[in-house]
Structure 1
Amino acid sequence: MVNQSDVEFGVMLSATSNDYGIADADLPGVFRETARTLENNDFDVVVAGDHIAYPDEIPTDYEFSKSGEPPFTSETSVYEVFQVLSHLAAVTDDLALGTNVVAAPYRHPITLTKHVLTLESLSNGRADLGVAPGWLSTEFDALGVPFDERGSRTDEFLEVFSRACSEGKFAYDGRHVSFDEIGFYPAPDRDIPVWIGGHSGATFRRVAEYGTGWSTLWDSPDEVESARERIMNAWTDYNRSGDPEIAVLRPVNVGGDSNHLLSGSPDDIIEDVEAYVDAGVTRIIVDFFTTDVDEQHEQIEAVGDDVIPSF
């Protein structure tokens, strides 16, 4: 049995940006009910993705669907991630509240830092920041942010955020933004976890330079183990102590086809989680094959009853 301290469990609140066929007026209740269900079933964190506005033109190379077509259109309701997480802070007590992941270039670094620090204060220290450069080029166009600058803008945000948390106030002169000395308050009382998303060499460098750990989607234990070797090389280059955290998001299906990872009997899923832990994973984020909210909650309860107690 794996030690409980080695792995956390979370859920992706994907209804914040996917078309679930639920009336907009009912979605806030779904968010609240899901968060309470997670807390009642011993989950550690809820995370949500980040989009601001879906354009009509969406590239058909979405890697997480067989057709390449994303599960949204320009008419899909999309909720601002920090407002959703702040809303959930008021109806939960212990659940960590995370972005998985926020597209750093979408917002000015001062604005994005303020969002995170506000969530941290409103939740009494439960903010959990996942960051990546973003991928939807036409959304960048709509926001007036050059797509080819997304990497350098992500780096600039991470530098500003790190300094804001450690210094409180400072002046900054960067490639994309510059400002005279300003204060970043409320100040956090702890190191806010920072998860870096992506697979590039720059991603693994960011993990080592700024991150608590790495967040990925769908990777197998073997793929995680290979990536962890690259992360550790960068971790050593930056003289980091300890070990990086690693989060993997995958759909779960308790009672489903055991030919897929995290699908099958509870024992099958426990065995898969153990393989992930052996590869270096410290957090499993559960997504779903179904968009039916009741069925999702049944899966949450099944994982809480039959999987989490083994860890």
Structure 2
Amino acid sequence: MTTGVSQQTTNPFDKLAQHIFSVGVELPLDNDWARYDAAQGTPFGVPDMSQHHARIQLADKLGFTAAWVRDVPIYDPNFGDAAQVFETFSYLGYLAAITENIILGTAAVVLPLRQPWLVKKAAATVQQLSNNRLILGVASGDRPVEYPLFDVDFEIRGETFRQSLSILKEGETRLSQGMDLLPRSPQAPLYVAGLAQQSPQWVGENMDGWLAYPGTPDDHVKRVQLWRNVAGDKPYVSFIHLNLLADDHAPIKRHRFGVETGVNGLVTELNAMKDAGVNHIGLHFRRNSLPVEDAMLRIADSVLPHFKQ
């Protein structure tokens, strides 16, 4: 274990860190990948958001721990993913108003493409509007086509990320006497997606949690050990692209970034994730063959009770 891990402390406003293991959802709450039909003329990766209000309220009511929102500034059909369509911080403000308990996380805001002082103000705003339910996941980004549009150099995004993060964490110290950034809200926990072009040691020392790419439980054993070596007990989060089947006893079949299975297999998979040291899993429904409401209700009834604390 590397030196200095004992000094790594958890952000006191990190509500996710209060859970040993928990289950959340990744937005959009749609199954557009499973329903995609090129003949209908809808671009692949653009979800139907008409039911998003009711579905996020359902996720909140059913007891899912967190809802994760992605940051995709420009829809690129070659990449094929528009995320949840809405601009991240605008949407988080809306979600804060229509939910009560669910943690609101970003997975993740692309810092090099955003003005860091405005990110800091937006995060403080969401913190206040949501009663401190924000987890601010950040990243250096991975879509080169976006960077020229924002007049940002893709090749130095790692350096830009570090500069932006320093403003998020310590920006007030750079203000002249009498100046302030309002609203005054507790610093939202800062999680990082991947390594953001940094070293594991730097990430462990400077971030409050890790948003790890999806993988099998065996994949996560190795990654969790790396994270524990540099970050101690800070939260380790990942995601499962789920196709929950109507047959509760359907065996686990693996696909890219996730599984197809029934509720019993999902309990087995989540227990394996917990045993691997994962602290939180966000469920992604875009390839789900069942209606999203049906899947969430089945999970709330037959899966979440296994992980209540």
In which range does the TM-score fall when normalised by the shorter chain?
0.7 to 0.9
Shift of 1:257: 5.3
Q: Which runs of 5+ in 2 are unaligned?
A: 1-17, 37-41
Q: 1:133 to 1:117 in 2, by over 3 A?
A: same
Amino acid in the other structure paired with 1:248:
S
Contact 2:29 2:292 in 1 (8 A): no
Following superposition of structure 1 onto structure 2, how do residues 16-95 of structure 1 map, counting pairs within 5 Å?
A: 21=42, 29-54=50-75, 69-72=78-81, 78-95=85-102
Q: Which runs of 5+ in 1 are unaligned?
A: 59-68, 172-178, 236-241
Moved more, 264-273 or 200-209: 200-209
Contact 2:242 2:288 in 1 (8 A): no
Q: Distance in 2 between matches of 1:211 and 1:77?
A: 25
Count of aligned pairs = 271
1:288 — aligned with what? 285
What is the TM-score of this pair, normalised by structure 2?
A: 0.78
1:246 — aligned with what? 236
CA RMSD in angstroms, aligned pairs only = 2.9
Runs of 4+ with deviation above 6 angstroms: none
Q: Distance in 1 between matches of 2:147 and 2:81?
A: 17
Indicate whether 1:130 and 2:137 are aligned.
yes
Following superposition of structure 1 onto structure 2, how do residues 101-250 of structure 1 map, counting pairs within 5 Å?
A: 101-164=108-171, 169-171=172-174, 182-189=179-186, 191-199=187-195, 202=198, 204-235=200-231, 242-250=232-240
Q: Distance in 1 between matches of 2:195 and 2:217?
A: 15
- State the SS of the aligned residue for 2:152: coil
Q: Distance in 2 between matches of 1:199 and 1:225?
A: 17
Shift of 1:262: 4.5
Shift of 1:200: 6.8
Contact 2:224 2:278 in 1 (8 A): no
Contact 1:195 1:207 in 2 (8 A): no
